[in-house]
C-alpha cells in the first residue's frame, strides 16, 4: 500500500487513521469514516480500488466535483470515469463499455443515477468490489444537508449484500453518525473518527461594522490568493463581486440564479487560477475541490455550525495556513430568524432555531473558538503542546487566543443585569433588558410600567453594545439562560441565582475591539522557502495546466512547490523525494520543473538542501494527532494496569475529564481497552441508562438536569460508554 501511495499519489507516509481505514476496507468490512475536510478521506477508497480486481463505485452528491476528482485521478495515472446528467447518452454508453472491458477502476455517480432501473441492471453485470458513499451525512434527516436522493442508498446493502460499503463524511454529530450507520445498514462495521481539529485554519470573528472596508483589507492581504466569500442572498453576491471589481480585484459571483453555463464558467475560472475571488451564496453548495484556498469569508454568518465547519473546510485543504473570517451582526441573525418563523413544520422550525442558537453562541463566545466548535462535535480540545505542557497562548489561531481580552470587575454590572431580568419577570429578550437598564422609555417599557422599577436607568454609564456584550458573556458563562423558542427570553440560571445569593465577585472579558494585527500569525508559512523561485514555478505550473486543460493544483500542489523552493532538487532522484511527486508526475513534469530550478540555482549561487527523512516527519504528525498521541498510548497502558481514573489523571498531569475523553477516543478509534473495572455501581448505571433513554444522547446537559445534577458530566460520559 505504501508503494502504491508513493507511485500514484507521491506521498511517503499515510496521514493519521488512513492506514487503519484502508486495512478495514481491504478486509472486506463495512467502514464508517469521520475525517475533517482535507484529512484525506478520498484516499481511503481510492487506494484500495487499485488493489481490487473489480470496480469501485463512488456515490457523490456534487456533479461539479466529479470531473475534478476524475481529472485528478487520471493525472496521477489512475483509470477513473464519472457518469452523470452532464454527459450525452452516447458518452455514457462508451464509459459503460470501458467498464465491461475492465478499463475503469473507479466510477463516480450521482445518487439519483442509482434510482434508474436501467443503471441498476447494468451494475448487476459488473464486478463491484467496493461501494464508497461520499458526503454520507446527506442521508440523515438530522444532518445539516439532507438530500432526498440519498434515500436511494438505503437499498445498497440488499442489492449488493456481499460488497463492503465505506461511508465518509467530514461533519456529523453523534446522532447523525448513528443515523448514517442505520440508514446504510452497516450492521457489522468498523468506525474511525478522526480529530475535527484543522490546526492550519485561523478562525476569526469580527463585528460587521464598516464590513466592506474590512473585506477590502482582507482580500488585499491575500491578493492573488484563492478566496471564497459567502453571502446571504444572490443579490449580495452580485453586489459584492461588482464592488470588488470596481476596487480593482478580479471577483465573480456564483449562485443558483446564474444559468448553468455562467456558473460553470465562473467556477472553472476560479479553479484554474484565472480569477482569485469567488462570491457565493451560503445556500448554494460550491462543488469545488481546490486545495489552495487561502481565505474564506462569511460576509453573512451561516445557519448551522455544521454548515460553517464544512464551508471553512474549503480553506487550506493542502495543510498550509489559511484564514477563515466571519462577519457577525445581530441584524443577520434576524434575517435567519425571519425565514425560520415562516416555516410551517413546527418540528423542523424548532430544529432550525436550535441550530441557529448554536452558531450565535459560537459567534458570541468569549472563549477559544476552536474549543467551542470541537466541543460541539463531541471533542474536547486541550491547550497542550506535544510535550504535554499547557500552552498559555491557547490555540494560537483564533481571534480570542491571538488577541485575548483584558478582564474587568463585572460584579456590580452583573448584579444589575441579573436583578433586571428577575424584576421584569424573566419574560423578555436581552435587548429589552438592555433598554430598561439604559432608562429608555419605549412604548412597551412604559406599558409594562418597567420605567417605575428600581433597575430602570441604573446602567447609563454604559452603551447598549457594552451591555449586550456583558449579557452575552453571562449567557456563555452559565449565569443567564435563553429560551429556545422564537422569543429568546432571558432568565437567571441556577449559577446566576447562586451568584446573587452568595454575593460573589466576578471578572469578565472587556468588549473586544477589532485589531488588524490579530490575524497576522494566520499567514505564517509552513516552511521557509525561496519566494522568487516559488513564483517562477507557479507560472510554469499554470502553463503546463493550461496545456493539459486541468486546474494548476492537479499538476502540483502549493506544498510541492514550496518544498521545491526550499530544498532545490537538482535531478530526478531528488525531485522524486518531493511530497506529491508520484511516478506518473515524475515522468510527465520533472524535466520542465528541474530546468527552472537549476537555472534559478545557477543565477543566484544557491546550494541545494538535503531533503529530510519522511519517517521523521511522520513521527511528528503522529505526535500532533489527537488520535495517536503519546498521551493516549500512556492512558491505554495505565488502563491495562487497572489504575483508577484519578490516578491516571494525576500521573499525566491532566484533569479527570481529560482521561474520560481519552477513553472515548480510544474506543471510537477501534482500540481494545478493558474498562469493566471502571463501571459505575449498578444503581448509578441504571439511573444513567434511564436518563439517556428518556432524553437521548445528543447532549449531556438534559441528562445532567434529568439526574437533578447529582452526577457530574464526567460520570455521565463514563456511564454512557457502558450504556452504549
Which CATH number, 1.10.10.1390, 3.40.50.11540, 2.40.30.10, 1.10.40.30, labels domain 621-723? 1.10.10.1390
**Residue 410 to residues 338, 466, 514: CA-CA distances in angstroms?**
34, 12, 21
Return d(Cα 19, Cα 15) in angstroms, integer. 8
Query: Helices marked H in 77-197 — which ranges?
Result: 89-100, 117-124, 156-159, 174-183
Sign of CA dihedral 174, 178, 181, 184: negative
Give the mean model confidence (pLDDT) for residues 463-488. 84
pLDDT at 146 over 90: no
State the average pLDDT for the chain.
Answer: 85
pLDDT of residue 327: 94
Q: Picking from 126-130, 434-438, 489-493, 636-640, which range would have the lowest pLDDT averaged per residue?
A: 636-640
Return d(Cα 369, Cα 320) in angstroms, integer. 19
Confidence of residue 607 (pLDDT cuts 50, 70, 90): confident
β-strands 480-482, 490-492 pairing: antiparallel
Give the mean model confidence (pLDDT) for residues 41-70. 89
Three cell numbers written together for 418: 441579573
Give the mean model confidence (pLDDT) for residues 92-118. 92
Please provide the DSSP assignment of 577-608 as one string: TSTT--HHHHHHHHHHHHHHHHHHHHHHTPPP
Q: Are 84 and 61 in contact (CB under 8 A)?
A: no
Q: Are 716 and 700 in contact (CB under 8 A)?
A: yes
Phi, psi of 399 (to 5 degrees): -65, -30
pLDDT of residue 297: 96
Return d(Cα 103, Cα 413) in angstroms, integer. 72
Confidence of residue 353 (pLDDT cuts 50, 70, 90): confident
382 or 135, higher pLDDT: 135
pLDDT of residue 614: 57
In tens, the pLDDT along 553-582 reads 999 999 999 999 989 999 999 999 998 998
Return d(Cα 295, Cα 214) in angstroms, integer. 13
388 or 419, higher pLDDT: 419
Confidence of residue 412 (pLDDT cuts 50, 70, 90): very high
Three cell numbers written together for 158: 440488499
pLDDT of residue 283: 55
User: What number of other Cβ atoms are within 10 A of residue 278's Cβ?
Assistant: 25
pLDDT of residue 520: 44
286 or 233, higher pLDDT: 233
pLDDT of residue 515: 45
In tens, the pLDDT along 187-222 reads 889 999 888 888 889 999 998 888 999 999 999 999
CATH 3.40.50.300 for domain 201-402: yes
The domains spanning 407-509 and 621-723 adopt the same CATH topology: yes
pLDDT of residue 391: 61
Considering only CA atoms, which of 248, 311, 313, 240 is closest in space to residue 279?
A: 240
Domain boundary assignment for the chain? 2-193, 201-402, 407-509, 531-604, 621-723
pLDDT at 155 over 60: yes
Q: Picking from 253-267, 282-296, 440-454, which range would have the lowest pLDDT averaged per residue?
A: 282-296
* b/e per residue 310-349 (b: at least 16 CB within 10 A): bbbbbbbbbbbbbbbbbbbeeebbeebbeebeeeeeeeeb
Give the mean model confidence (pLDDT) for residues 418-446. 93
CATH placement of domain 531-604:
1.10.150.80
pLDDT at 618 over 90: no
83 or 384, higher pLDDT: 83
- Tell me the CATH architecture of domain 407-509: Orthogonal Bundle (1.10)
CATH 3.40.50.300 for domain 2-193: yes
Return d(Cα 132, Cα 386) in angstroms, integer. 34
pLDDT of residue 624: 36
The CA R_g of the chain, rounded to the nearest whole Å, is 27
pLDDT of residue 295: 95
Three cell numbers written together for 579: 511530497
CA 489 vs. chain centroid, Å, equals: 31
Sign of CA dihedral 600, 602, 604, 605: positive
Amino acid at each position: 500500500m505504501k508503494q502504491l501511495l508513493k507511485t500514484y499519489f507521491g506521498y511517503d507516509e499515510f496521514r493519521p487513521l488512513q492506514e487503519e481505514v484502508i486495512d478495514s476496507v481491504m478486509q472486506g468490512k463495512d467502514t464508517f469514516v469521520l475525517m475533517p475536510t482535507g484529512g484525506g478521506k478520498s484516499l481511503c477508497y481510492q487506494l484500495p480500488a487499485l488493489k481490487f480486481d473489480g470496480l469501485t463505485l463512488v456515490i457523490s452528491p456534487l456533479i461539479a466535483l466529479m470531473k475534478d476528482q476524475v481529472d485528478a485521478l487520471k493525472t496521477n495515472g489512475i483509470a477513473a470515469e464519472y457518469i452523470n446528467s452532464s454527459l450525452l447518452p452516447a458518452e455514457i454508453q462508451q464509459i459503460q463499455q470501458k467498464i465491461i472491458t475492465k478499463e475503469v477502476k473507479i466510477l463516480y455517480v450521482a445518487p439519483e443515477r442509482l434510482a434508474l432501473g436501467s443503471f441498476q441492471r447494468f451494475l448487476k453485470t459488473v464486478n463491484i468490489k467496493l461501494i464508497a458513499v461520499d458526503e454520507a451525512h446527506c442521508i440523515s434527516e438530522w444532518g445539516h444537508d439532507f438530500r432526498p436522493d440519498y434515500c436511494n442508498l438505503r437499498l445498497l446493502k440488499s442489492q449488493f449484500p456481499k460488497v463492503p460499503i465505506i461511508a465518509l463524511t467530514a461533519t456529523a454529530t453523534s446522532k447523525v453518525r448513528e443515523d448514517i450507520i442505520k440508514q446504510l445498514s452497516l450492521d457489522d462495521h468498523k468506525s474511525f473518527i478522526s480529530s475535527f481539529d484543522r490546526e492550519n485554519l485561523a478562525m476569526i470573528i469580527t463585528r460587521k461594522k464598516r464590513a466592506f472596508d474590512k473585506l477590502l483589507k482582507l482580500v488585499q492581504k491575500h491578493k492573488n490568493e484563492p478566496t471564497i466569500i459567502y453571502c446571504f442572498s444572490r443579490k449580495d453576491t452580485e453586489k459584492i463581486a461588482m464592488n470588488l471589481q470596481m476596487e480593482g480585484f478580479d471577483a465573480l459571483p456564483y449562485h443558483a440564479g446564474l444559468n448553468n453555463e455562467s456558473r460553470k464558467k465562473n467556477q472553472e475560472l476560479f479553479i484554474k487560477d484565472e480569477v482569485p475571488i469567488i462570491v457565493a451564496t451560503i445556500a448554494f453548495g460550491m462543488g469545488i475541490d481546490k486545495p489552495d484556498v487561502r481565505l474564506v469569508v462569511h460576509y453573512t454568518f451561516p445557519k448551522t455550525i455544521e454548515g460553517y465547519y464544512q464551508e471553512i473546510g474549503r480553506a487550506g485543504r493542502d495543510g498550509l495556513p489559511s484564514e477563515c473570517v466571519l462577519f457577525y451582526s445581530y441584524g443577520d441573525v434576524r434575517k435567519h430568524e425571519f425565514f425560520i418563523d415562516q416555516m410551517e413544520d413546527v418540528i423542523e422550525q424548532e430544529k432550525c432555531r436550535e441550530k441557529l442558537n448554536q452558531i450565535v453562541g459560537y459567534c458570541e463566545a468569549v472563549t477559544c473558538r476552536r474549543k467551542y466548535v470541537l466541543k460541539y462535535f463531541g471533542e474536547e480540545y486541550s491547550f497542550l503542546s506535544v510535550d504535554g505542557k499547557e500552552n498559555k497562548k491557547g490555540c494560537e489561531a483564533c481571534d480570542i487566543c491571538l488577541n485575548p481580552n483584558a478582564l474587568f470587575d463585572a460584579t456590580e454590572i452583573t448584579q444589575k443585569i441579573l436583578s433586571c431580568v428577575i424584576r421584569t419577570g424573566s419574560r423578555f429578550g436581552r435587548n429589552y433588558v438592555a433598554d430598561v437598564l439604559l432608562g429608555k422609555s419605549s412604548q412597551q417599557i412604559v406599558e409594562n410600567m418597567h420605567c417605575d422599577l428600581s433597575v430602570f436607568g441604573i446602567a447609563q454609564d454604559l452603551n447598549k453594545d457594552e451591555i449586550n456584550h456583558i449579557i452575552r458573556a453571562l449567557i456563555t458563562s452559565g449565569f443567564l439562560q435563553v429560551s429556545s423558542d422564537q422569543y429568546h427570553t432571558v432568565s437567571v440560571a441556577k449559577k446566576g441565582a447562586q451568584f446573587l445569593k452568595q454575593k460573589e465577585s466576578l471578572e469578565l472579558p472587556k468588549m473586544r475591539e477589532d485589531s488588524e494585527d490579530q490575524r497576522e500569525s494566520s499567514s505564517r508559512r509552513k516552511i521557509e522557502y525561496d519566494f522568487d523561485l516559488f513564483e517562477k514555478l507557479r507560472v510554469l505550473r499554470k502553463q503546463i495546466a493550461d496545456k493539459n486543460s486541468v486546474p494548476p493544483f492537479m499538476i502540483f500542489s502549493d506544498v510541492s512547490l514550496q518544498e521545491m523552493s526550499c530544498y532545490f532538487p537538482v535531478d530526478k532522484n531528488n525531485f522524486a523525494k518531493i511530497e506529491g511527486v508520484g511516478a506518473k508526475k515524475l515522468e510527465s513534469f520533472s524535466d520542465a520543473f528541474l530546468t527552472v530550478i537549476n537555472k534559478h540555482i545557477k543565477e543566484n549561487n544557491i546550494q541545494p538542501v538535503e531533503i529530510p527523512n519522511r519517517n521523521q516527519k511522520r513521527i511528528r504528525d503522529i505526535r500532533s494527532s489527537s488520535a495517536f498521541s503519546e498521551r493516549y498510548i500512556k492512558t491505554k497502558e495505565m488502563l491495562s494496569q487497572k489504575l483508577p481514573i484519578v490516578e491516571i489523571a494525576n500521573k499525566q498531569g491532566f484533569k479527570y475529564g481529560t482521561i474520560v475523553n481519552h477513553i472515548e477516543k480510544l474506543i471510537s478509534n477501534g482500540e481494545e481497552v478493558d474498562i469493566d473495572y471502571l463501571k459505575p455501581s449498578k444503581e448509578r448505571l441504571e439511573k444513567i441508562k434511564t436518563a439517556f433513554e428518556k432524553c437521548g444522547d445528543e447532549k449531556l446537559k438534559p441528562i445532567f438536569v434529568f439526574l437533578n445534577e447529582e452526577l457530574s458530566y464526567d460520570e455521565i460520559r463514563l456511564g454512557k460508554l457502558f450504556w452504549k
